[in-house]
């Protein structure tokens, strides 16, 4: 029997589950191989350690329901995340719309909307305050004076 | 009690123990049946927690890992194709979660060892984290042996450690270990042989 095969049967041997047909060869190999004997000691310690650690296992009857409530909590978190995102998007959209509206209003404050001809005259008066000489106007007084001369 | 036979019957009353894993999975996927999921958790919780204990040597950490395993299982059940056994799949998730936990803890230990020195200067203890469960019902020599062995297991390469824990803590056959690890039978034999030889070398050195 090879060392690897002997090692693969160690747990069964220590648990008393090794088939009788393998037992003879197994023990013969152990009697001849120091390393496998040491390995068997290690496996014995390993099983002892495992038994010791596993003896701390507690049957928790609420384990399943605790996991379910965690799953539900995670789902609720995802739902509220979505709600928060939607509210955020809506707020940003509303702020942008409001910005555009206010911007429009502020932009229009300097300009006057012309609704009638009188409005147009008023605006024209505002912009044309300086009297300019009209080359086409005819000054009667001046022309009369020049005739007298 | 009526035995569940028709998978299309919603919220059917069933004898839990008579439902196969496949039927339970279908109940959960198709009808989001919480009762079926709870049954699945109860069926596998011991397997998951004790596997976690093999890696973490601490019951409470193992229970935390088990919660993550089942939450992950719940999310990924629709992807389960029944190509392998459900238990094999759960073992894989458990092993991955446990190894990730250990990696995270290692990183934290490195960081805390830096801050630990600062704490020491401030009169605080740096040994207040990640306590390993002490073996019970054992004398001092055995406890010391267990501690050395546990340290040696933790230092094994991942593949050797996984094979060793599935073999020792779960008593899985080589064939089952090969399925979980997706390697050949001879690879499992070789991994376990090397793991035991490495542990022997460490333990002999300590004597």
Confidence band, pLDDT 50/70/90 cuts, at residue B96: very high
B70 close to A (CB below 8 A): yes
Which residues from chain B sit within 8 angstroms of residue A67, using beta carbons? Answer: 41, 67, 70-71, 74
In a domain, A87, yes or no: yes
B194: pLDDT strictly greater than 80: yes
* B206 in Cβ contact with B148 (< 8 Å): yes
Mean pLDDT of B36-64: 92
- What is the spatial distance between Cα A69 and Cα A146, in angstroms, rounded to a whole number? 111
Per-residue pLDDT of B145-158, as tens digits, reads: 888 999 999 999 99
B18: pLDDT strictly greater than 50: yes
- Domain range for A106: 70-128
Q: B38-74 in b/e burial notation, b at 16+ Cβ within 10 A?
A: bbbbebbbeebbbbbbbbbbbbebbbbbbbbbbeebb
In a domain, A103, yes or no: yes
Q: Which of B133, B138, B196 sits opposite A7 (nearest CB)?
A: B196
Instruction: Give me the residue spans of the domains in chain B.
Output: 1-100, 135-207
B1-100 against B135-207: fold identical: no
- What is the spatial distance between Cα A65 and Cα A63, in angstroms, rounded to a whole number? 6
In a domain, A21, yes or no: yes
In a domain, A93, yes or no: yes
CA-wise closest residue to B75 among A79, A70, A66, A83: A70
**CATH level 2 (architecture), domain B135-207:** Orthogonal Bundle (1.10)
Q: Token match 């020049």: residue?
A: A146
Backbone torsion region of residue A59, taken as left when φ is above 0, otherwise alpha when ψ lies between -120 and 50, otherwise beta: beta
What's the confidence (pLDDT) of residue B162? Answer: 96
In a domain, A100, yes or no: yes
pTM listed for this prediction: 0.70
Q: For residue B95, what are its two tokens?
A: 């092993």
What's the confidence (pLDDT) of residue B48? Answer: 95
Number of compact structural domains in chain A: 2
> What are phi and psi for residue B165, nearest 5 degrees?
-70, -40
Query: In Å, how far from its chain's centre is CA A19?
Result: 59
What's the confidence (pLDDT) of residue A78? Answer: 77
Q: What is the CATH number of domain B1-100?
A: 1.10.1740.10
In a domain, A81, yes or no: yes
Confidence band, pLDDT 50/70/90 cuts, at residue B73: very high
In a domain, A45, yes or no: yes
Which residues from chain B sit within 8 angstroms of residue A3, using beta carbons? Answer: 193
- Do A45 and A93 lie in a common domain? no
CA-wise closest residue to A43 among B50, B200, B10: B200
What's the confidence (pLDDT) of residue B10? Answer: 37
Mean pLDDT of B117-143: 55
Which residues from chain B sit within 8 angstroms of residue A66, using beta carbons? Answer: 67
- What is the spatial distance between Cα B66 and Cα B47, in angstroms, rounded to a whole number? 9
Q: Token match 């599935």: residue?
A: B166
Confidence band, pLDDT 50/70/90 cuts, at residue B119: low
- Do A92 and A118 lie in a common domain? yes
Cα B125 to Cα A39, B61, B111, B122: the distances in Å are 38, 21, 15, 9
- Do A30 and A76 lie in a common domain? no
Per-residue pLDDT of A21-64, as tens digits, reads: 889 999 999 999 999 999 999 999 999 999 988 988 888 888 88
DSSP state of B135: P
Per-residue pLDDT of A75-127, as tens digits, reads: 777 777 788 888 889 899 999 999 998 888 887 776 666 666 766 666 666 66
**% of chain B beyond a pLDDT of 70:** 79
């Amino acid at each position: 029997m090879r060392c690897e095969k002997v090692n693969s049967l160690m747990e069964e041997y220590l648990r008393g589950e090794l088939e009788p047909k393998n037992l003879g060869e197994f023990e013969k190999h152990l009697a001849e191989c120091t390393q496998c004997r040491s390995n068997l000691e290690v496996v014995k310690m390993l099983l002892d350690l495992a038994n010791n650690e596993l003896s701390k296992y507690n049957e928790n009857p609420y384990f399943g329901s605790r996991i379910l409530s965690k799953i539900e909590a995670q789902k609720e978190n995802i739902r509220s995340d979505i709600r928060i995102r939607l509210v955020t998007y809506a707020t940003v959209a509303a702020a942008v719309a409001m910005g555009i509206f206010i911007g429009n209003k502020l932009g229009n404050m300097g300009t006057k909307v012309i609704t009638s001809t009188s409005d147009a005259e008023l605006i024209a008066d505002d912009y044309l305050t300086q009297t300019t000489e009209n080359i086409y106007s005819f000054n009667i007084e001046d022309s009369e004076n020049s005739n007298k001369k | 009690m009526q035995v569940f036979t028709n998978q299309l019957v919603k919220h059917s009353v069933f004898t839990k123990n008579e439902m196969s894993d496949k039927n339970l999975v279908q109940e959960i996927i198709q009808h989001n049946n919480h009762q079926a999921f709870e049954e699945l958790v109860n069926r596998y919780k011991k397997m998951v927690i004790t596997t976690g204990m093999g890696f973490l040597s601490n019951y409470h950490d193992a229970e935390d890992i088990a919660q993550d395993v089942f939450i992950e299982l719940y999310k990924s059940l629709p992807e389960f194709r029944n190509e392998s056994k459900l238990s094999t799949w759960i073992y894989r998730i458990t092993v991955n979660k446990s190894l990730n936990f250990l990696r995270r803890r290692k990183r934290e230990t490195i960081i805390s060892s830096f801050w630990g020195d600062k704490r020491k200067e401030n009169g605080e203890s740096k040994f207040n984290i990640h306590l390993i469960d002490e073996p019970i019902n054992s004398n001092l020599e055995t406890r010391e042996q267990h501690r050395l062995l546990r340290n040696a297991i933790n230092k094994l390469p991942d593949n050797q450690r996984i094979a060793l824990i599935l073999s020792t803590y779960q008593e899985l056959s080589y064939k089952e270990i090969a399925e979980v690890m997706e390697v050949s039978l001879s690879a499992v034999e070789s991994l376990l042989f090397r793991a035991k030889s490495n542990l022997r070398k460490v333990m002999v050195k300590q004597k």
